Amino acid sequence: MISSLFWIVPVAALTALLFAWIFYRNMKAQEEGTDRMIEIATYVREGAMAYLRRQYGVVTKVFLILVVLLLILAYFGIQNPFVPVAFLTGGFFSGLCGYLGMRTATYASNRTAWAASKSLNQGLKVALRSGAVMGLVVVGFGLLDIALWFLILNGWVFTPEHMAAGWKFAGLTFVHPGTTEHEKLIEITAVMLTFGMGASTQALFARVGGGIFTKAADVGADLVGKVEAGIPEDDPRNPATIADNVGDNVGDVAGMGADLYESYAGSILATAALGAALPGVTGDLQIKSVIAPMLVSAIGIFLSIAGIYLVRTKESATPKALLHALLLGTGGSSLLILVVLAIMAAADWITWGVFGATVSGLLAGVIIGQSTEYYTSDGNKPTQAIAKQAQQGPATVIIEGMAVGMASTWIPVVTIVIGIIAAYGFSGGFQNFAMGVYGIGFAAVGMLSTLGITLATDAFGPIADNAGGNAEMSELPKEVRERTDALDGLGNTTAATGKGFAIGSAALTALALIAAYMEEVRLWLGRVIDKAPEGFKQIGDTLFYKSVIPQVQDGQVAVHIGSATIRDFTSAYDITLLNPIVLGGIFIGAMMAFLFSSMSMKAVGRAAGNMVEEVRRQFREIPGIMDGSGKPDYARCVAISTAGAQREMIIPSLMAIAVPLLIGVLFGVAGVVGLLAGGLSAGFVLACMLNNAGGAWDNAKKFIERGNYGGKNSEAHKASVVGDTVGDPFKDTSGPALNILIKLMSMVSVVLAGLTVAWSMLG
Amino acid sequence: MKKYIYLTSTPEALVASMLPPEGFGMYLSTGTKKRNRGQNIFFEVDLDQIGNIFDMESLEKRCVAKEDGSPKSSVYLSVYRVLEMVPTSALKSLYLTTDHGCVLELKKAPYDSKRESVNTLHLYQELCPVTPLVVSDMTPSAFLKKLTDGSIPITLPKLFFVELKLGELAANPLGGSAEHLPYPNIGHMRDCLEILRGEYEKHMKTVQRVFSGTLLYRTIESGFYVGSKDEIVFYPYPTIKDLEDINYEFFRDI
C-alpha cells in the first residue's frame, strides 16, 4: 500500500509540464521582431531541428541494438525483462526534453532580442521563462517517468498473486515466485533504476554530439570568418555563423538538459533503490524511504515554479539588479526546500540525519558553483592572471590557463569530500553503512531538488547569447545590443553556477550509483542462489545462502543474502586496494576519463577541419558574399557540422558503454567497482579542470577585449584568442561530457550487474 | 557626384575619391570585395586650398563614376612628401578606421599648450613622414617644434604623430606599474625612459624604429598632432567612455 502522499509526485510532474506549456505559449505570444530577425531565427531553428532529427536517427539505431542485447540477456535470465522497456522510456523522455527545450530556445532568441529593445527587464523575463520551459520539462518528464513506472510496477506487476505464484510472460520471468513485500520494493526500485541508463545514453550522445557540433562550427566560423576573412563575430556574411548559433542551442540547451535530466532521475532512483534496501527497514518505513526522494523532488518542483515567478525587476533595472533577482529566485527556492525537509523530518518521513545530508548536498552545490564563478570570472585574479600572461604570448597563456584549471579543482574536490563525509555521517553512516550511502544519495537529491529553476537560469544563457547574435546580425540599435550583452553576461554567470551544480550532482549521483550497484549485485546473487542446487554460493571465503545455512569450514563465514551488508560483499569480493584487480580497475577508470576526453577533442579538430574547408569554399565560389550581394549557404555548414558530429560521437560514446561491460566480464565485481571509483575520481577532477580552464581562457580574452592590455588587435589579444580556441573543446565538449561518462559507466554497470555476477560464477 | 580629396598616412599619398569619408574609410580597410583588412588613418583635405599646389587637371578626367554608375573609389594624385606640401590649414577632419572598416571622425580643436603636463614623460608614435616610436620628456608642442624647426641635425618639414598612454611609467619609469600597457618589450621601454632622466641631457629616445602598422586605439592618450614649428593642429581623442556614446560601432571594434 503506497502512501497517499505519493500522489503529490505525479501531480507535481504534471504541474511542471502544465507551467512549461504556459510559459511556452506566453513566449510564442511575444512579438517576433523585424523581418530580418525572424529570418535569422528561422535559419537557426531549422538548423537546430535538422541536427536533432539526424542525431535522433543515429541514437535510435544505437538504442535498438542495445535493446536487442538487453532482450538477449533477459532471455537468458540475467536481466530483468522490464529493463529494455525502461531503457527505452528513459532515452525517449530525455530526447523529448532536448527537443522541447531546443524548440523553445530557438523560438525565444528573436523574441528576447525584441523584448530587450523595450527594456532589460522584459528581455530577462522572456529569456528566463523560455529557459524555464527546459527546466520544467526536464523535472516534469523525469518525475512523471518515475511515477508512472512506480505505479505500473507496484499496482499491476507486483500484485499479491504474481508475488505468490510468480509471473511469466513469453517465457520471460517478470516476477519471481515467493517474492516478499520487502523484496518487492527492492525489485521495483532496481528495475526503475535501469531507466537511467536510457537517459544516460541519450545524454552522452547529446553532450558529445552537441559539443562536437558547436565547437566545429565555432572554430570554423572563427578561423575563416574572423581570422582569414576579417569579418566580426555574428556577421551574416560568415557562412558558419548560423551553425555557430545552432551550436549554442545544441550544446548548451539540449546537451545540458539531457545531462541534468539524467542526474535528476539517476539521483532519485539510486536513492530510492538504496532506501528500499536499507537493512532492518520494512513495511511503512521502507515505503517512506523509497518515496521520500521522489516527494522532495516533487515539492522542489512547486518551489521552482514559485522561484521563477519571484524573478522580477523594475523596468529600469541594471544588470546587477537582474543578477540579484535571479539569485532571489534560485536562492529562495533552495531555502524553502530546506524548510520543507525540516517539516518532513519533524513528521518522521525522513530522519534529521537525512535532513543534514541534504543540507550538505545543497551547500556543496552552492560552493562548487561559487568556486567555478571565482576561477572563471574576469572580475577575479585567476582569469586576470591569464590575461596578464597574454602579454608574453600564447605559450604563457596556455601555461597559466592550465595552471588555473588545475588549481581550480581543489575547492570542488574538498567540497565534495566534505559533502560526502558530512552526508554519510549525518545520516548515521558511521554506525550503519547503508544509511550513510542513502544519505549521500539524498545529498544529490537535495542538490537537484530545485533543478526546475536552476536549469531555467542555465538555459537562459544560450537564449540570451542567441538573442545577442540575432540583434547583432539584424543590426539593431546600440541600446538593444547593450541590453542583450548584459543578458548574455548574466547568462555566463548563471552558466558557471549551473556547471558547478552539474558536476557536483554528477559526482554525488555516481557515488550513490556505485552503492546501488552493490545492491544490484545482491539481487542477482540471490537469483543465482535460487538456481543453485546446493542452495548457496561461495564468493571468496563467504557462503551466501537463502534458506538453509550451509556448513562452513575454518576461515569461512555464512551470510544470509537478504541480510548481507555492503561490507559483507566488499569482503567477499575482496574489494580492497590491495587486490590488484581493484587497483587495475581504478587505473582503467582513470584512464577512461583521459582517453574519452582525448577522443572528443580530436573529434572537434576533425569536424572543424571540414567546416574550415567548407567556409573557404563558399568564400571562393559564391560571388558577392563579402560585399553582401551574394548569400552564403548556411544550411550546408549546418549539415557539415551535423554530419561531423554524428560521425565522430559514435566511438567515444560506445566506448563508455563497452568498457564497463568488458571489465565486468573480465574482472568481475571487484574490477567494476575499481573502474567506477577510478572513473569517478579522475573524471570529476578532470571535468572541473577542463571546464574551468576553458571558461577562464574565454573570459581572459573578453577581459582584454574590454580594453585591458591594449584591447583588440594587441599582441595580448592575439595570444588570448589562442587560449580561447584551445579552451573551446575543453569547456564545451570534453569537460561537460565527462559528467555523463562517469554516470553512464555506473549505470551500465548497474544494468549489467546480472551478467557480471552470472559470468563470475561461471569463471 | 561630389569629389573628395584625402591624405592617407600609410602610404603617404593624396587620393581623390567619390566616396564620402565613411565609405572611403571602409574601402581602404576592407577593399571593394571586402577581402582584405587593415587599419587606416587619413585626413580629408580642402580641395580649394591645394588646387594650385598639385596637378588637379587629371582629377576631372580620372575620378569619374564607373560604367555601372557606381562611384570611383580611389584615384592616386600624388605619393611621397605629400604631407609637407599640403598646408596645415587645408586639413579638415581626421578619420581613423578599424580592421573591419568602422570609421571614427576626429574634429580639429584649439590646442592649449598651457594645459600640457610638463613634468612627466611622453610616448609618441610618429605616423608621417617617418614612423618611429619615441619617448620624450617634451610636451607635444615642444616635441613638434624640436623636430621641425631645424635646430637639430635630424629635422622634418612637417610631422604627424599621436601621443600614447604611458601610465605610471610617465612618472616612474623603473618602478611604475606597466600593467595594461600593451607595448612589447616593456623592459626596453623602461630603459629608454630612464635615459631621459639620466645625468646627460637627452630629450628623445627611439624605442622602436618602424611602426608596426597597427595603432591600438585604446592606448591613445591625448590625441593626434600635426604641424610644423609653432603651427600645431590638434585632433583630441575622446575618452573610452565618451567613445562608447559617440561611435558605438567603432567602440565595439577596438
Cβ contact A708–B100 (<8 Å):
no
Residue B35's pLDDT is what? 61
* Cβ–Cβ under 8 Å, residues A712 and A703: no
* pLDDT tens digits, A125-155: 899 999 999 999 999 999 999 999 999 998 8
Of A477-481, A732-736, B199-203, highest mean pLDDT: A732-736
Residue ranges of chain A whose CB lies within 8 Å of a chain B CB: 229-232, 237, 388, 391, 478, 481, 626-627, 707-716
Mean pLDDT of A695-714: 88
Cβ contact B35–A713 (<8 Å):
no
Q: Is B202 left (phi over 0), alpha (psi -120 to 50) or beta?
A: beta
Which comes out higher in pLDDT, residue A435 or A319?
Answer: A435
Share of chain A above pLDDT 90, in %: 35
Residue A2's pLDDT is what? 62
Question: Could you give the CA distance from residue A573 to residue A675 in angstroms, rounded to a whole number?
Answer: 14
Element spanning B99, H or E: none
CB burial readout A23-51, b (16+ within 10 A) else e: bbeebeebeebbeebbebbebbbbbbbeb
Of residues B33, B36, B216, nearest to A711 (C-beta): B216
CA nearest neighbour of A733 among A555, A589, A604, A556 = A604
Cβ contact A710–B36 (<8 Å):
no
Q: Say if residue B8's pLDDT is above 90.
A: yes
Residue A599's pLDDT is what? 92
Residue A408's pLDDT is what? 95
Residue type, A214: T
* Cβ–Cβ under 8 Å, residues A683 and A738: yes
In chain B, which residue's Cα lies nearest the Cα of A393?
B184
In chain B, which residue's Cα lies nearest the Cα of A385?
B179
Question: Could you give the CA distance from residue A704 to residue A614 in angstroms, rounded to a whole number?
Answer: 30
Cβ contact A711–B30 (<8 Å):
no
Confidence of residue B159 (pLDDT cuts 50, 70, 90): very high
CA distance A320 to chain B (A): 19
CA distance A388 to chain B (A): 8
Q: Say if residue A763's pLDDT is above 60.
A: no
CA distance A474 to chain B (A): 14
Mean pLDDT of B155-178: 93
H helix intervals, chain B:
21-30, 47-50, 57-62, 82-85, 140-148, 186-196, 240-246, 248-253
Of residues A232, A707, A713, nearest to B214 (C-beta): A713
Cβ contact A710–B33 (<8 Å):
no
Mean pLDDT of A561-576: 87
Of residues B39, B181, B254, nearest to A711 (C-beta): B254
CA distance B185 to chain A (A): 9
Q: CB distance from B253 to chain A under 8 Å?
A: yes
Q: Which residue do the cell numbers 588613418 mark?
A: B41
Question: Could you give the CA distance from residue A208 to residue A261 in angstroms, rounded to a whole number?
Answer: 16
CA nearest neighbour of A214 among A185, A256, A275 = A256
Cβ contact B182–A391 (<8 Å):
yes
* pLDDT tens digits, A81-96: 888 998 999 999 999 9
Q: Say if residue B143's pLDDT is above 90.
A: yes
The set of cell numbers assigned to B173 is 619609469
Q: Say if residue B140's pLDDT is above 90.
A: yes
Distance of CA B216 to the CA centre of its chain: 12
Confidence of residue A206 (pLDDT cuts 50, 70, 90): confident
Which chain B residues are closer than 8 Å to A232 by Cβ? 100, 253
**Which candidate in A228, A384, A475, A713 is best for mutational testing of the B interface (most B CBs within 10 A)?**
A713
**Which candidate in B218, B244, B250 is best for mutational testing of the A interface (most A CBs within 10 A)?**
B218
Q: Say if residue A429's pLDDT is above 60.
A: yes
Report angle CA A190, A194, A197 to the nearest 5 degrees: 155
What are the φ and ψ backbone dihedral angles of A536, each rounded to 5 degrees?
-155, 170
- Write the burial class of residue A341 (CB in 10 Å: 0-12 exposed, 13-18 middle, 19+ buried): buried
* pLDDT tens digits, B57-67: 778 888 889 88
The set of cell numbers assigned to A51 is 541536427
Q: CB distance from B99 to chain A under 8 Å?
A: yes
Which chain B residues are closer than 8 Å to A627 by Cβ? 32-34
* pLDDT tens digits, A490-517: 887 777 677 777 888 888 888 888 888 8
Q: CB distance from B79 to chain A under 8 Å?
A: no
Instruction: Say how many CB pairs under 8 Å bridge A and B.
Output: 54
Confidence of residue B34 (pLDDT cuts 50, 70, 90): low
Q: Which residue do the cell numbers 511503512 mark?
A: A284
Q: CB distance from B182 to chain A under 8 Å?
A: yes
Average pLDDT, chain A: 88
Element spanning A457, H or E: helix A451-473
Cβ contact A231–B179 (<8 Å):
no
Confidence of residue A447 (pLDDT cuts 50, 70, 90): confident
Residue B33's pLDDT is what? 64
CA distance B151 to chain A (A): 35
CA distance B147 to chain A (A): 28
CA distance A621 to chain B (A): 13
Average pLDDT, chain B: 90
Q: Say if residue A1's pLDDT is above 60.
A: no
Indicate the SS3 state at residue B44: strand
Residue A552's pLDDT is what? 86
Residue A64's pLDDT is what? 93
CA distance A603 to chain B (A): 30
Residue B194's pLDDT is what? 92
Residue A302's pLDDT is what? 94
Residue A386's pLDDT is what? 96
Which comes out higher in pLDDT, residue B146 or B118?
Answer: B146
Whole-model pTM: value is 0.84
Which comes out higher in pLDDT, residue A228 or A190?
Answer: A190
CA distance B240 to chain A (A): 9
* pLDDT tens digits, A239-271: 888 888 888 888 778 888 888 888 899 899 989
Distance of CA A531 to the CA centre of its chain: 39
Residues 6+ apart with CB under 8 A from A166: A173, A175, A176, A177, A178, A179
Interface of B with A in 31-70 (CB under 8 A): 32-37, 39
* pLDDT tens digits, A336-379: 888 988 998 898 888 899 899 989 988 898 899 889 889 988 88
Share of chain A above pLDDT 70, in %: 98
Q: Say if residue B224's pLDDT is above 90.
A: yes
Which comes out higher in pLDDT, residue A395 or A193?
Answer: A395
Cβ contact B34–A708 (<8 Å):
no
DSSP result, B75-87: EEEEESSHHHHS-
Q: Say if residue A444's pLDDT is above 60.
A: yes
Which chain B residues are closer than 8 Å to A709 by Cβ? 180-182
